[in-house]
Every structure is written in C-alpha cells, then in structure tokens.
Amino acid sequence: MLVVAIVFWCCAALIVYAQLGYGLLLALLARLRRAPSADTPDAVPAELPSVSFVVAAYKEEAVVAEKVANVRALDYPAEKLELIVACDGSPDATPERAREAGADIVLELPRGGKIRAQDAAVRSARGELVAFSDANAFWAPDALRRLVAPFATDPAVGYVCGQVSFSNDDGGTNQEGLYWRYEMALRALESRLASVTGGNGAIYATRRDSYIEVDPIMGHDLSFPFNMVKRGWRALYAPDARASEKMVPSIEGEFARKRRMMSHGWPIVLKGGLLSPQGYGPLYALMILSHRVLRYAMPFLHLLALLANLLLLTTSWIYVVTMALQCLLVGSAVLARWVSWRGLLVARYYVLTQAAVAAGLWDWMRHGTEAGWSPPEGTR
C-alpha cells in the first residue's frame, strides 16, 4: 500500500500546487525580484504605429456591424488603423454587413477555419502591428493604444494580449467570470516575471514580422505565446487594454465550449512543441509545466487520486476524510443541476471544466479536429 499512498499524495499535492500553489509561487517570485507592478499602465507612445485590425468571422451577420462600429470608435488615428474582416466561408450576410458598416477590406474566403482566415488577413495587412479580436468582443476606447504600448517600449516584444471580462446578462449559471479573474491575475504575474503562457482571442496583437502561421487546428491563444518565446520574442499581458464579451450562459454550454477548445489544444500540447523545453529559459519552463502541463493533466490526476483513495480507504481515518471531500465535490456538482446556489455552481463548473479537458482529448484521438468553428450558442 506504500506505493498507492505515494501515488495518492503526489496527485493531491500536484492538484493543490497547480490550482493554488503556482499563483502563490509567482507572487513570491515577483515580490523577491521587486518587479514593477503589472497594473501600472504602460505609457502610450507619442508616435503610434500603424495597425491592421483583423476580425475573423463566420456566421456573424448579427454582430459584425456593431463590431466594425466599435473598432471605428477606438481612440486611435484613423489614418493609422486598417480594419480587415476575414469571412471564413460565411453562409449568411456577414460580408455585406461588414462592407456596409465601413470595413476597409472584406475578404470572402473558402471555408478553411479561423486560423487560415487570420493568415489570409495578415498577408493582406499593411500595418506594422496586427491586432486580432472576435466579432462579439468589444474594446474600450483606449484599448488599442494600451495594447500597442509594450511594442514601443521593448523591441523584443512580439505578442501582447489584453484583459477580457465576461458578462452573463441573462443571469445564467456559468461561473467562467470567477475563473477568468484568477487567470488574469496569474497572467499579470507571468508577464511581470517573464512571458505569459496563454492568451485570449478577444484582444491581442503581434508584430507583423513576428506573426506565425500555425497548423489550422491549433488556435493562437495557446500556440502563440510559447512559440514567440521559442523564437526569441517576449509575450506580454497588458491589463489596461480592456475588452468585454458575453459568456456562454450555462455551465453545460461552457463544458461544450471548453471541450471544443481542448480538442484544438491537445494537438498543440502533444504535437505542437509546447512540451519541448528548447528555447525556454528555466523560469518560463517552470511556468509552462505548472500552468499548462499540470492544468491539462488535472482530470487524470483527480482520477488517479480517487482510485488510490478507494484502495486506501480502510487503512486510516485520514483517507476516509479525503474520500469524503472528493465525494462532497462531486456531489455538490451533481446537486447544482437542480439547486442554483453559488457554492454548488462553482463546484459544478470545476468538475465539468476538468471533464471537458479529458473529453477534448478523447474527441481529438477518436476522430481528429476540424479547422472550422462556429460561434458558441448564447454569446451573440
């Protein structure tokens, strides 16, 4: 039973470290290194660079005009801002709506997936920097100025993502906002110490020269930051560059969204170079291991811990307690299906999002991943 006990406590320790200990470690390192606060806005450069703003769109006729209007309202010189809407084989009136709203370039492309639509837009872009956003993400007026600031202050910066907040105006059950606030805090610490390990699709930018064409099933959110680092660039987070978008209303909808995302994420982890330490410094390698590898291993660590706990149940009272805690978590997640209490909903969100990681791996291994995508239900 000694080996089983070792397996149990190692799994438990890794779960606690990945979910809580990693954040505490980053905070300690930032304090020891006396790094400047990530909450201090970067000075906006006096001479603003030219920017090509790319929106990849599929079936977005309901929101694309509002998105174009949002970009046009940004506090940025109009002569330095080019708006490109790349329509990924949209079967609706997305291209017409984008032109009517005032997009500079509207690309009508064959269906090839979001990544290939973005690649085509970058090849058409004339700006020094290329900014990206989703059709349903709306930027604060000064967001673009704030997003481009790190590029001006450090020539080694190749990628910058901003802060996105999620709204659930219909009063749904999804608890993504709670998780995302914690994720943003971790991202600020990673950026302060080295480079971020992940981004988001709502608000980010690259130098046109640092842009990477990746496999069309591998999204930018996960593949860009570590690939930038491998190529000698820094990947930073600008918390004062803000955007907002609607989240999937329900936890079950969030499970489906994350399952789809992880079917795109696992190829990056297992085949896309994330696991290779080549090009990482020691600190960034620790960040990748802690924030990415362990996070994606989480459902399997939970399963191992549960199985080991079952085998150890009769050996000590402590294993009765740990089994009770695991049953409490799962039971709370099940009960939240009928009782919408916040604590139960958080438990359900946690359990289903961990399950989504494993389900995404199953989907990819069973039938691969298509490059195409559709907007999640309830977010438009």
In a domain, 116, yes or no: yes
Residue 362: helix, strand or coil by DSSP? helix
Angstrom distances, CA of residue 295 to CA of 98, 197, 291: 38, 12, 6
Confidence check: pLDDT of 45 > 90: no
Rounded to the nearest integer, the mean pLDDT of the chain is 93
For residue range 330-352, list pLDDT tens digits in order: 999 999 999 989 999 999 999 99
Give me the CATH number covering residue 214.
3.90.550.10
The packing angle between helices 2-16 and 294-312, to 10°, is: 140
Torsion-angle region of residue 281: left (phi > 0), alpha (psi -120 to 50) or beta? Answer: beta
Give the mean model confidence (pLDDT) for residues 159-186: 87
In a domain, 152, yes or no: yes
Give the domain extent around 242.
51-249
The answer to whether 374 and 59 are in contact (CB under 8 A) is: yes
In a domain, 368, yes or no: no
Number of domains in the chain: 1
For residue range 198-233, list pLDDT tens digits in order: 999 999 999 999 999 999 999 899 999 999 999 999
For residue range 7-43, list pLDDT tens digits in order: 999 999 999 999 999 999 999 999 998 744 444 445 6
- 3-class SS letters over 210-235: CCCCCCCCCCHHHHHHHHHHHCCCEE
User: CA 232, CA 354: separation in Å to the nearest integer?
Assistant: 33
Residue-level pLDDT at 37: 46
Residue-level pLDDT at 168: 74
Burial of 212 (C-beta count, 10 Å sphere; 0-12/13-18/19+): middle
The string of DSSP letters for 257-315 reads HHHHHHHHHHHHHHHSSTT--TT--HHHHHHIIIIIIHHHHHHHHHHHHHHHHHHHTTT
Give phi and psi for 52, each to the nearest 5: -100, 120
In a domain, 279, yes or no: no
Instruction: Return the amino acid letter for 366.
Output: R
The model's pTM is 0.92
Residue 182: helix, strand or coil by DSSP? helix
- Tally of CB atoms within 10 A around 110: 9
Under the banding of pLDDT at 50, 70 and 90, the label for residue 52 is: very high
In a domain, 275, yes or no: no
Residue-level pLDDT at 377: 64
In a domain, 80, yes or no: yes
In a domain, 314, yes or no: no
The label of the residue with tokens 């790319």 reads 54
Q: List the beta strands (DSSP E) in 30-80.
A: 51-57
User: CA 376, CA 166: separation in Å to the nearest integer?
Assistant: 14
- Tally of CB atoms within 10 A around 37: 10
Pairing of the two strands 234-246 and 157-167 = parallel
The end-to-end CA distance of the chain, in Å, is: 53
Pairing of the two strands 81-88 and 51-57 = parallel
Residue 172: helix, strand or coil by DSSP? coil
User: CA 13, CA 7: separation in Å to the nearest integer?
Assistant: 10
Residue 351: helix, strand or coil by DSSP? helix
In a domain, 337, yes or no: no
Instruction: Return the amino acid letter for 251.
Output: I
User: CA 326, CA 215: separation in Å to the nearest integer?
Assistant: 39
Residue-level pLDDT at 47: 85
Q: What is the CA radius of gyration of the chain?
A: 22
User: CA 220, CA 308: separation in Å to the nearest integer?
Assistant: 37
